[in-house]
Chain A
Amino acid sequence: MAYSFPEEVLEHVFSFLSLARDRNAVSLVCKSWYEIERWCRHRIFVGNCYAVSPEIVIRRFPELRAVEMKGKPHFADFNLVPEGWGAYAYPWIAAMAEAYPFLEEIKLKRMVVTDESLELISKSYKNFKVLVLTSCEGFTTDGLASIAANCRHLRELDLRESEVEDLSGHWLSHFPDSCTSLVSLNMSCLGSEVSFSSLERLVARSPNLRTLRLNRAVPLEKLANLVRHAPQLVELGTGAYSSEIRSDTFSSLADAFSACKQLKALSGFWDVVPSYLPAVYSVCSGITSLNLSYAAIPSSDLVKLISQCQNLQRLWVLDYIEDSGLEALAASCKDLQELRVFPSDPFGAEPNVSLTEQGLVSVSEGCPKLESVLYFCRQMSNAALIAIARNRPNFIRFRLCIIEPQAADYLTLEPLDAGFGAIVENCKELRRLSMSGLLTDRVFKYIGTHAKKLEMLSIAFAGESDLGLHHVLSGCDSLRKLEIRDCPFGDKAVLANAAKLDTMRSLWMSSCSVSFGACKLLAQKMPRLNVEVIDERGPPDSRPESCVVERVYVYRTVASRQRLDMPDFVWTLDEDSSMRYS
């Protein structure tokens, strides 16, 4: 081709494309572009580890440096996916250890990672830099010790919210004295105490340390020492924030904080003693992110703290903040973009705090940049939702959890269809929606009609008939992930919209009304969908086909539909068109 650019030039051009979406588009232009692009792609994101196999990835992209991957479906966070379902990292780690000796980054979410995997990582990649394990499980602190000991150039070790079997805090001491490259360390999910002197020395010899998130076992008295060694910190997660009230501890802490001119994010604050909160006041004006969602702080103290943080962009907090605190937030933090209010007593029968829909209304009124909300409360009304929608048409993420399933509008006793309808109608850029409360098929009609940019939808205890699901599947053009639990949605809607499922990452339905027969039919009709029937009652074909399955997880895949690691409660369609398990 006399008129084409030399490969090097194209490669150079492509190097400016960072988004996977753009690179994917480029690789579809023609075969030569596909070839050039695949040789120079260094970063890959796999949204569902079963959508593709390691072999396929390695064959296509021989030069990867960074891999990011997600495993279990989102509802696994709430114990809806049985133990042993899958999402094992090891096959990927093992395959990549062979193929990518220069791999630098591995980021996994909701996957099962073993100590063997961690050891393999630590020994296979000479230049390994970044390990982020979000909501993962299956490993112990021994695995961490391997990483600490062997990854000479480790920059990031981030274990956010993973379930780690904590054998001892000794792993931290495995970082060799020569390791000075740490930029980010997040050990907040660990239980046991690490050697404080090891920790202190590690922090002291890491001049590039920007993020340090301690675990609860690090006492407040020691925090000042650590912070003093790292005044360049941008993100700090404290350990336990409680101690006997002593003025020397307080002043030492306050001094240490005042030296941190770059601090932007604070988190931790377990077991907080409010009297110590003023120690951070000196940094509040620079704080953009505050995670107090593990801190039981009364509303008045919260308000005092928050009103100092005029530049706050993100706040995660417990419902102790109450409506009054949220009103104060709305008044002081005009830059607020994201708010998450978590329940302090989610299983209590009665409300323990005075947090209602009014708090959210206040914030939606007062914070013009608010675009992302996760809100747990115990009552809601259509009027409030309509007001919120009108106040804030710029919502991108709106997740509302009314604690009582199917709770109606507490004022009118009607369903909350109108309220959520207003949300999707006004918020045209809405990408993620989680609904709760009493909802009929009507709300799904609104969603199908208006939520054209919606990518992820979570539904629980809602709807009346297949029509509801049909509205969503037929109307939401951008839908990628749909997760449903305990809704009367069944075969008709799923089968009628089978083709839609091919355009989505995944569909999860548990405790709904999808029959085994429909699952088989779907799998037969759609060869590129994996229809996993997850049912702990034994083989589905021992029951009539009309029998409803406990859970079905449908996802598109180019890998085999009979994944080798299926447990005995998962069934998929076999080549000879019968549902069986391997």
Chain B
Amino acid sequence: MKVKVLSRNPDDYVRETKLDIQRVPRNYDPSLHPFEVPREYTRALNATKLERVFAKPFLTSLDGHRDGVNCMAKHPKSLSTMLSGSCDGELKVWNLTKRECVRTLQAHEGFVRGVVVRFCGTSFFTVGDDKTIKQWKMETPSYGEEEEPLNTILGKSVFTSIDHHQKEGVFVTCGQQVDIWDEQRSNPIRSFSWGVDSFNCVRFNPVETELLASCASDRSIVLYDMREATPLKKVIMNMRSNTLCWNPMEAYNFTCSNEDYNLYTFDMRYLDKPVTVHMDHVSAVLDVDYSPTGKEFVSASFDKTIRIFPKDSGHSREVYHTKRMQHVISIKWSSDSKYILSASDEMNIRLWKANAAEKLGLLTPREKAAVNYSQKLKEKFQHHPQIRRISRHRHLPKSIYSQSKELRVMNEARRRKERNVRKHSKPGSMPVVTEKEKHVVTVVK
């Protein structure tokens, strides 16, 4: 007879002293772990619920401005520094970690229209309603020293926006025309205008650094190459675009925020129709900024909300609002991709988390692993109706909720009417126009 009976030595399975950690022998045999999928599903459901429980995106509000905040700028070298210009010509420099204003200066008379920090981070430029461009030092002037600009350029007309080149001492302003300036000269080195009376936004491409795009008040978006004497091409849309932002990872793509409540992502090579139409706002979209990863962007709207869109999705994944936040004028996504800054009419700048349920601060390895695991589970079961319902649920202010409902009804009615017209007209006389094609009038080269 040969016999062997299971006989475990408890010493192999129990910790030796209380100072040790417990021993956990594993056996991954699937038959020892029944109900794998239902258990994972339950975990995913719990993770989704907890995500909604922990979704507290609002971090702080920076107050101190005495008029509505009109523009903001990120510091290219320091994560904690941020600049904001208000409608009374005041400019403030903020320390975000301390959540306080470190410097205030009266930059312009009238609005500060635009502010941009030079790529090296040592100085910044402002433009204002007093037809001047001013360059300021980033350092606070020492005691007794007067707050004075390094350089002042007097222009002929009001400037509405400014942006700086990524590598060279060149910046661009817009107003009645788009001007490209050398930092050393007091006259523009190049001026572009294309039968347009005024521009409201101009941006350098962060990857192909010689390219520019601007939004004009005649509903067009004009593209330029700094090295050429004439603009490249322009696309005219149904309504005016307020601002635009280049995708920092995909050199060809940019997104513009439009007055018709939508945002449009264009490929600059094929302007005849946008790549994606992003809908969800219920009022004009005023500003847009990309996350440094280029995967998502955030938009600020006149409807008092901020929305975060994945770059290739037609609808937003997140909406932020508070009772006290008024029309949001300017928006920035921080360079570490974790925070969002919004500047609004009621003189406040608000700091939000980019991922509403994210835990801030250092995570232990176990916490990190748990977060990753639940993220994967949520992804795996995202299409299950229960999980989808919970993860998509957002509370909206009543006004916005009813407006979006109204908009939906209006759109549906329009669509129905079009369908009926098509049904009762000669086949082929009413071509189907897709949503993407609808908003573009023409492309001019």
A binds B: no
Give the B-binding residues of A (Cβ under 8 A): none
